[in-house]
Structure 1
Amino acid sequence: MTNPLAGMLKARQKEAARPALYARGMRVCGEYLAARDDRAAPPDVRLTRAVGVLAAALGAPSADPFDALLQVGERALEAGGEDGPALALGIAETATELRQRSIGAWRLRGLALDRLGRDAEALECYGRRLALQQGGDTAEAVARRIGTLRRRRECLEEAAALFPGSGPALRGLTARNTGTAAEEFAAEVRARVAEHGMGDPAVRRLLDLYGTYRRLVERSALCDPLLGGSVPIGVGGLRALVAGRTVCLVSNAAEVAGSTLGAEIDGYDLVVRCDAFRLSAEGTGRRTGLHAVSLRGDTPWEGPPWSQPAGIRLVFGDPAGAWRRATRERLVAGAQDQVGDASLRRPLSDPALLGEGAASRSGAGAGTAFTVLRLLDFLDVSPRLDLIGFDKPGRLRPAEAEWVMDRATHVDAGKMRIALR
């Protein structure tokens, strides 16, 4: 007979453990921040801010700090470096203990392990995530990544079977860090070439497997290289599409989501949104004519896919190699009609466009919203250019907010609108 008190006791024990788990998460954050040497590298502002938001949420009795915890992990992945992924993993381990059925927590844990080169553990986490999430573009991207990791393992296993004498060493690389495994795989290839010569069929197959393995370490395979027919668009094409159309740039602030401005926002000819956003018909509106994102961190190609439907997607980032790889791996087939080409990847620092140097204007580089706003203002072909939800301090960096207010023609506090035309 089932004891009705058993479930209640278990739930209470789990609830009592929550403060200790959140405290562990904050301790991991504190250790990361304390270990940073600001003289060697400046602090990541977005990550530091996310830690502050988490601390504030933990201090509010009515708040649920789980989303803030995940945000710290996301920002840690963006920060990259040697210790960013380790911080993200510590946060993810806490998150999966707090909520074992959280898709976001298992996603973060898989990405962190993947970034750290722990393929076998990453595969397990990605599998847990797929089991919780059925279908969708994001699930397809995860399945593609799982396929990539499995194919890397298959390359090592087949290579081990080619030369039984060195098989155990190659087979053991499947449990090693990816960076170490790649180096030792290369050493094994050099040894077999020296031993058997390039004429040996097994050596030629080994070289083929090594080449495939290295390509899969550098990037995931693409299921649709043509991205579902997405068309590149340059500066001239963007100007032609924007010409004569009313434009609004919508903030991701909670006040906008909780407003009743949705119908009014959707009434603009072109609705512009930035970075990660959520839609609600009543508050934010449903339409996205242009979606702008900025690449951040040392390995921006490892972020979540850009699966939100949009007419145009602009990706801002430097250097060119990281930009190319990120657009290759994070764009989703069919999620956009047009994609900004290389002429639009850094409009504020490109002498062919504005060339004003975003870094000198706003310290660590301009935010996404300000970058796309300056681009649209520079094109100067829209009869109406409004910002919605950027009227509060902190939505833009101080220098950016000053630029906006210097050029504002009208401010409507009731509708959170700043008009530049």
Structure 2
Amino acid sequence: MANPLAGLLTARQKEAARRDLYARGLRLCGEYLAARDDRSGPRDARLTRAIGVLAGSLATPSADPFDALLQVGERALEAGGDDGPGLALGVAETATLIRQRSRGAWRLRGLALDGLGRDDEALAAYDRHLALLQGGDATAEVTRRIDTLRRRRACLEEAAALFPEAGSPLRDLPGRPTATAAPEFAAHVRARVAGHGKGDPAVRRLLELYGTYRRLVERDGMPDPLLGGSTPIGVDGLRGLVAGRTACLVAGAAEVAGSALGAEIDRYDLVVRCDAFRVRAEDTGGRTDLHAVSLRGDAPWDGPAWTQRVGIRLVFGDPAAAWRRATRRRLVPGAQEHVGDASLRRPLDDPALLGDGGASRPWGSPRSSGAESGGGRDAGATTAFTVLRLLDFLDVSPRLDLVGFDKPGRLRPAEAAWVMDRATHVDAGTTRIALR
């Protein structure tokens, strides 16, 4: 006869083991905090808060601390630095021991190993994450990183096969951290160039592989660099797409959402919307011909992808490196027919374009869309004013109207003053302001 106490004893042993693992995770957090050098940036503060939430959940018998543990790992990755990925890996290893079939834990483990440059181990963790999805769609982030790591490995493997007589020093590099693999690959390339000359076909191919490898180390590969056929446009391209078309910039305000102006808005040739927006055909109109969005926050590349289908998408932001990284990660193939290139990323501050954001003006590079998206405290111009100022500067639309911007707070005071100084008509009944 089965011993009724055996099952209870086993359950208690498992629970004790789980408590020990959570204690290990909290100890890793304590060691991390003890080794900090008085860092007080926003990302460090978010990590500290996440650790506090974990500690609180461990002290509450009814709470499940697993999600709080994963959140600590995510915040550690976000904090970065020399020790952030290490803490994230320790947390992820703990999480995969607690729940061996947790998709989130294996994803975190892959990201942490990836951040530490341990490509082979990261791929194994990502593969485990994919296996646990059981046919579900992986996140774009994981898909992109798997593609990047595999392409980097392929570069090393092909490079090693080009000069087998050289002892193939590259054969062991795929399993080593990128921090050591990259300089050894560079040394191998220099040695082959010195020994065979740049005219050698194998050397030329080796240089191509090294260039691809270095690009993939510095930034993710794009599964579809052409973005599903999207056409990059500069100032001249935008002018050609806008010329002769009536344009309407629609606010995401509550008054518009319940205005029944949809049919009237859709009569414009070019309907322009900003940042996050919702469409209700009867109220806001059903089309979005131009979508303008501004990058904001410490890591704008981590924001949600721009999945809404539009004709033209303009991404405003500074500095250039953050703009490039964000557009590579957040643009979705096929979600836009045309996308603004780097010449359109900061029109108010670009002396080759408007040059209108210097010290003599109360606005600068776009950093948020003002009250519409909760970014009213940020410095710089709102997204709405930036795209409006750009369209006004191009001066090729026979009609340029704003809908929903007649109330205080839709634009910043200096921007609203600029609009009203140039308004030719204001219709309070339809919340329309005409600039043409």
Asked if these proteins are the same fold (TM beyond 0.5), I'd say yes
Tell me if the contact between 1:295 and 1:316 (Cα under 8 Å) persists in the aligned partners.
Answer: no
The 3 A distance-change label for structure 1 pair 107 and 290 is: farther
- Deviation digits for residues 204-257 of structure 1, max 9, x if unmatched? 2221221221122122322223434678899x99xx665365349xxxxxxxxx
- Separation in 2, partners of 1:331, 1:109: 26
The 3 A distance-change label for structure 1 pair 4 and 38 is: same
Query: Taking CA–CA contacts closer than 8 Å with sequence separation of 6 or more, which of the two structures ends up with the larger relative contact order?
Result: 1
Cα distance, 1:194 vs structure 2:
0.9
Superposition map of 1:161-200 within 5 A: 161-200=161-200
Larger-Rg structure: 2
The 3 A distance-change label for structure 1 pair 98 and 116 is: same
The 3 A distance-change label for structure 1 pair 41 and 372 is: closer
- Separation in 2, partners of 1:163, 1:308: 44
Secondary structure, aligned partner of 2:170: helix
From 303, 306, 312, the equivalent of 2:304 is 306
- Separation in 1, partners of 2:89, 2:164: 36
The 3 A distance-change label for structure 1 pair 355 and 138 is: farther
Q: More displaced, 106-115 or 2-11?
A: 2-11
Q: 2:207 maps to what in 1? A: 207
Q: 1:246 maps to what in 2? A: 253
Cα distance, 1:309 vs structure 2:
4.7
Cα distance, 1:356 vs structure 2:
7.7
- Separation in 2, partners of 1:175, 1:246: 53
Secondary structure, aligned partner of 2:164: coil
State yes or no: 1:351 paired with 2:354: no
Residue type of the alignment partner of 1:371: G
Q: 1:51 maps to what in 2? A: 51
- Separation in 1, partners of 2:60, 2:314: 37
Identity of aligned residues (%): 62
Give the number of equivalent residue pairs: 350
Q: 1:160 maps to what in 2? A: 160
Q: 2:332 maps to what in 1? A: 332
- Separation in 2, partners of 1:48, 1:74: 12
The 3 A distance-change label for structure 1 pair 198 and 96 is: same
Cα distance, 1:93 vs structure 2:
1.2
Tell me if the contact between 1:295 and 1:323 (Cα under 8 Å) persists in the aligned partners.
Answer: no
Q: 1:404 maps to what in 2? A: none
Residue type of the alignment partner of 1:154: A
Superposition map of 1:5-404 within 5 A: 11-38=11-38, 44-134=44-134, 138-139=138-139, 141-228=141-228, 243=250, 246-247=253-254, 294-296=296-298, 303=302, 306-307=304-305, 309-310=307-308, 318-333=318-333, 351=357, 355=363, 370-371=374-375, 375=382, 382=404
The 3 A distance-change label for structure 1 pair 151 and 194 is: same
The 3 A distance-change label for structure 1 pair 98 and 180 is: same
Cα distance, 1:272 vs structure 2:
7.5
Calculate the aligned-residue CA RMSD, in Å.
Answer: 4.8
Cα distance, 1:10 vs structure 2:
5.0
> Which runs of 5 or more residues in structure 1 are unaligned?
249-263, 275-288, 360-365, 388-421
Cα distance, 1:12 vs structure 2:
4.1
- Separation in 1, partners of 2:191, 2:153: 20
Residue type of the alignment partner of 1:243: V
> Which runs of 5 or more residues in structure 2 are unaligned?
263-272, 278-290, 350-355, 389-401, 410-436
Query: Could you state the TM-score of these two structures normalised by the residue count of structure 1?
Result: 0.65
Query: Could you state the TM-score of these two structures normalised by the residue count of structure 2?
Result: 0.63
- Separation in 1, partners of 2:162, 2:325: 33
Residue type of the alignment partner of 1:65: P
